[in-house]
Structure 1
Amino acid sequence: MTIDNKTKPVIALSGASGYIGTNLMNKLKKQAHIIALSRSIETKEDSDNVTWRSADLFSLADAEDALAGADYAVYLVHSMMPSAKLTQAKFEDMDVILADNFAQAAKKNGVKQIIYLSGIMPADTTQLSRHLKSRKEVEDILGAYGVPVTTVRAGLIVGPKGSSFPIVKKLVSRLPMMLLPKWTRQKTHPVALDDVMYALKGSIGNDRVSGKTFDIGGPEVMTYKEIMIDTAEVMGKKRKLVNVPFMSVNLSRLWVTVTTGTPKEMVYPLIESLVHPMVANSEQMDDELSYGAIPFKEAAKLAIEQEDQEKAQKQESPQVSKKQIKPIVSDVRSVQRVTLPPGKNAAWAGAYYTAWLAQIGKPFLTTDTDPTNKSTIYLLNKPLLELTYSPERSHDKRALYYITGGVFAKMNKEPGRGRMEFRQIPNSRECIIAIHEFQPSLPWLLYSLTQAKMHIWVMYLFKRHLEKMSPAKQQTIKRPLVD
């Protein structure tokens, strides 16, 4: 770390309880004050130079509170796994919300620099996989509000946890013979966990790489087949590997999911990305930070040893008491992406949506909007949902409505955090429409089979409706617009 302050800097570390975050925190905490961010901190304890803050980065307000007092912020968040009891969303759309909240919060709190760990991009970026396209979109969003962003791009990170290497290890461990499809001959640039830590740590407060993007990689460029062969050797296992031409990416991702027991939400995007060569570009490498020194076999051996140690420690440690376990909440997160008509913004979309609902649902559905932009959706005069507009949290690029009533919503004595937002993606006409922390009043099974599916269908119709709109054919609906 190149920071040269008389007092220790304050570094906000998102994803601090994750694989990369935990390791980076251990590297930084002797030289900086760490604000460790995680959605759940019930089992976490503050220590010297480490303060834990609970932060749901799907909430802009939470993100703003989380980054208060930070000099630098490290972004290690990725939403490949479901984030609610029912998640109706693509991971790339959830990533937009998380990154946008983080970037806005960094700007508001005067953060000097954001450090982001991304993935190596192939030379041809016109046909990126969903995973890599999302990583690039996050890079752009983090830098959209003026805070300098340092993006560290890495390929396969060799460590005891994470995503890619543990999948390789499970395949080698469980299959005496493997049929290797074409993508296993694709080249990648593995890098040891310690070398990734060195690059991230060296980027914080480093003016030379502030606002820049650079690739990192280990001393070897390898195929995935070579990685499997070396991993088997490190594990002391003999494996027969047979090249086959017939296994597609779709079949491969299913095979990897079943064989390794890894959730498909994680496997599918990763396997889809393996069609690209993931090799660091020499023209985008930093002389001091990019060149990892640890060979693959050494990194793999260390990762396996660390995993064994962690398993042994976990068996010896006391079990978490039931009092410490956070109760499961029957909540819903539903996120869809639409394209706005030319000249329209998120505020317009929020105002237009309920009026459009009344149009397609008549004569059964009606909507009413009062002068404060509180909208109520009725079914045969029975209020289904009440959306209360939040002027202090809204602007032309974002319209926020709290869910404050209606027979569809489970309401306690006071409104909770259930909300619906319309958020325009920076520098684009795309808009994210999201429902967060919604708790339905219907029994869960009935809700998931009826109302949840109906919402997806309605959002699909709204998306198609917006796509068909053009400046010459836009429909005018007389109703108050969002201020």
Structure 2
Amino acid sequence: MQENTDNNKPVVAVAGATGFIGRALLPALKSHCRLICLTRSAVNEEDSACGLDVSWRQCDLFSLNDIEQVLCGADYAYYLVHSMMPSARLTQGSFQDMDLILADNFARAAALTGVKQIIYLGGLVPRDQGKLSRHLDSRLEVEKTLGSYGVPVTAIRAGIIVGANGSSFSIITHLVERFKIMVLPRLMLSLTHPIALSDIIKILCYCLGRKETYNRSFDVGGPDVMTYQDMIKQTAEVMGHKPRIFTVPTILPFLTSWFLSFFMKAPKALVIPLVESLQHDMVAENRVLQKQMNLTGISFKQAVKMALIKDQGDAAAIKPPKVKKNQSPEKKVPNVRSVQRLPLPPGKDAHWVARHYSQWLPSFFKGLVRVKVDRDGSCHFYFSFMKNKSLLDLSFSEDRSFNDRPIYYITGGLMAHLNRLPHPGRLEFRGVLQNKHTLVAIHDYVPTLPWFIYNLTQAQLHLWVMHNFRRHLLLNEFTGKLREREGQEEGF
């Protein structure tokens, strides 16, 4: 980190402060900065300040309004968030789309509140190896999205980070502890470039406020490049184990994922994307940033020894205030989050998609459903044979909407419970990745149907409707491109 010549310390917000990297980063920043630590858990106002230079703020990253409030006054921000785990009782949508909407929220809020720099910890991007895995492709999408609203982004791209409680490293240590004989797929012979947690923390701190790192991405890695299989062997050696390891030509990725999830007690949502990434060699090509820092790095074996000290960093950890019981009602309420990615036809925006959806839906259901649209853009959905009782009422929020992000709040209807969660239920249409896609997202929706019945009926119906609307927009996109080409030919 650069010397701070001002008497006032810079204010730094950390999204992901309670995660593996965030917990290690906070103590390293504390002496140089005033910290705003973001947590989704409820925070008591009287407990939110952990000293003069550290404050905890509750923030739901799916809420743009929340992020705008917590980033207010921040000079810089770290983005250490990866959304692989479910965020509601029912989560419909891929982790890539969840990651994308979170990053878009953060980037918009950072631009609105005047944040000077976002520092993002992503993943190494393999060169010339064909199609990326979903995990790596998502990391790259997040990196692009964070920089799409004008705030300078410094992207640190790393492979496996070796540290206590790291997800990938924990899977390795559990394998070594539990199995004396391992049968590994040839995927485990791919190259990887691990880096010690302490080295990552030094790099993240170094980049803070350094303008020469703005709008740049940097590959980082430790001094050792090895295969995943060698990484397991060296970890076993440090731990005092001698497993017999056999390599077989192929094991289907889903079988590997199932095995790790079942025997390691690791969530499938976490394991599957990581296993998919094994097909790539993950090596930092040019460690220019570490050369500037004169950071040779800690060897893999030494990093393993440090990570195996279970209480590493606990004494210096900055822990969030304890949450009192019954302060997180969203954990008890059967809520729904659904994020679906749709194509965006040429020359259109998310506002057009929202309006078009209200027109398309009645025609798709062929008279069974009707939609009433008010002058202010609000929508009311009915069964055609029920004239007075609406299924769902969506009030258009002009104050919170833009052409690339119209938002509707759920304000009534037979299908929705209201005021059960801290945030109101809402539907939004959002243009992302420079209007390449539209995300249609439902947040904090609480259905009135019994939960078991809802899962079997309305939840499945929503996915089916979105699938058909996606097909409709793809046809619209194809037709638009065809007309555009015909117009060019006529002009020629």
TM-score exceeds 0.5? yes
Q: Is the 8 Å Cα contact of residues 217 and 290 (structure 1) preserved in structure 2?
A: no
Q: Does 1:89 align with 2:93?
A: yes
Q: Does 1:194 align with 2:194?
A: no
Cα drift, residue 307 of structure 1: 5.4
Cα drift, residue 322 of structure 1: 4.1
Q: Does 1:374 align with 2:378?
A: yes
Q: Identify unmatched segments of 5+ residues in structure 2.
A: 484-492
Q: Is the 8 Å Cα contact of residues 3 and 206 (structure 1) preserved in structure 2?
A: no
Cα drift, residue 288 of structure 1: 2.8
Cα drift, residue 125 of structure 1: 6.1
Question: Which of 348, 361, 365 is matched with 2:365 structurally?
Answer: 361
Q: Is the 8 Å Cα contact of residues 346 and 481 (structure 2) preserved in structure 1?
A: no
The aligned counterpart of 2:480 is 471
Cα distance per residue 1:242-287 (max 9 Å; x no partner):
1111312222122211121100000000110111111101265442
The aligned counterpart of 1:210 is 214
Q: Does 1:51 align with 2:55?
A: yes
**TM-score, normalization: structure 2?**
0.91
Letter in 2 for 1:377: F
- Secondary structure at the aligned position of 1:160 is classed as coil
Cα drift, residue 428 of structure 1: 3.4
Count of residues in Structure 1 that have an aligned counterpart in Structure 2: 468
**TM-score, normalization: structure 1?**
0.92
Matches within 5 A, 1:89-128: 89-124=93-128, 126-128=130-132
The aligned counterpart of 1:2 is 2
Cα distance per residue 1:60-115 (max 9 Å; x no partner):
11111111000000000110000001000100001111101111111111111100
Return the alpha-carbon distance in structure 1 between the equivalents of residues 341 and 108 of structure 2: 20
The aligned counterpart of 1:151 is 155
Return the alpha-carbon distance in structure 2 between the equivalents of residues 210 and 361 of structure 1: 50
Letter in 1 for 2:4: D
- The percent of aligned pairs where both chains have the same amino acid is 46
Letter in 2 for 1:47: C
Query: Structure 1 residues 125, 335: CA separation in 2 closer, same or farther (over 3 Å shift)?
Result: farther
The aligned counterpart of 2:299 is 295
- Secondary structure at the aligned position of 1:146 is classed as coil
Cα drift, residue 360 of structure 1: 1.1
- Secondary structure at the aligned position of 1:99 is classed as helix
Q: Is the 8 Å Cα contact of residues 191 and 292 (structure 1) preserved in structure 2?
A: no
Letter in 2 for 1:36: C
Matches within 5 A, 1:287-436: 287-289=291-293, 291-306=295-310, 322=325, 327-379=331-383, 380-381=385-386, 382-412=389-419, 417-436=424-443
Letter in 1 for 2:416: A
Return the alpha-carbon distance in structure 2 between the equivalents of residues 298 and 407 of structure 1: 60
Letter in 1 for 2:36: I
Letter in 2 for 1:2: Q
Letter in 2 for 1:467: L
- Secondary structure at the aligned position of 2:292 is classed as coil
Letter in 2 for 1:226: D
Cα distance per residue 1:105-147 (max 9 Å; x no partner):
1111111110000001101264110010010011111111111
Letter in 1 for 2:11: V
Letter in 2 for 1:106: A
Matches within 5 A, 1:135-174: 135-174=139-178
Return the alpha-carbon distance in structure 1 between the equivalents of residues 357 and 425 of structure 2: 18
Cα drift, residue 414 of structure 1: 11
Cα distance per residue 1:396-429 (max 9 Å; x no partner):
1111010111100012499951000000013133
- Secondary structure at the aligned position of 1:278 is classed as coil
Letter in 2 for 1:15: G
Q: Is the 8 Å Cα contact of residues 192 and 299 (structure 1) preserved in structure 2?
A: yes
Return the alpha-carbon distance in structure 1 between the equivalents of residues 292 and 442 of structure 2: 44
Letter in 1 for 2:75: D
Q: Is the 8 Å Cα contact of residues 213 and 284 (structure 1) preserved in structure 2?
A: no
Return the alpha-carbon distance in structure 2 between the equivalents of residues 413 and 306 of structure 1: 40
- Secondary structure at the aligned position of 2:310 is classed as helix
The aligned counterpart of 2:38 is 37
Q: Is the 8 Å Cα contact of residues 157 and 165 (structure 1) preserved in structure 2?
A: yes
The worse-fitting range, judged by mean Cα deviation, of 412-421 and 27-36 is 412-421
Q: Is the 8 Å Cα contact of residues 421 and 444 (structure 2) preserved in structure 1?
A: no
- Secondary structure at the aligned position of 2:5 is classed as coil
Cα distance per residue 1:207-244 (max 9 Å; x no partner):
22122111111110011111111111111112110111
Return the alpha-carbon distance in structure 2 between the equivalents of residues 409 and 325 of structure 1: 20
Letter in 1 for 2:404: K
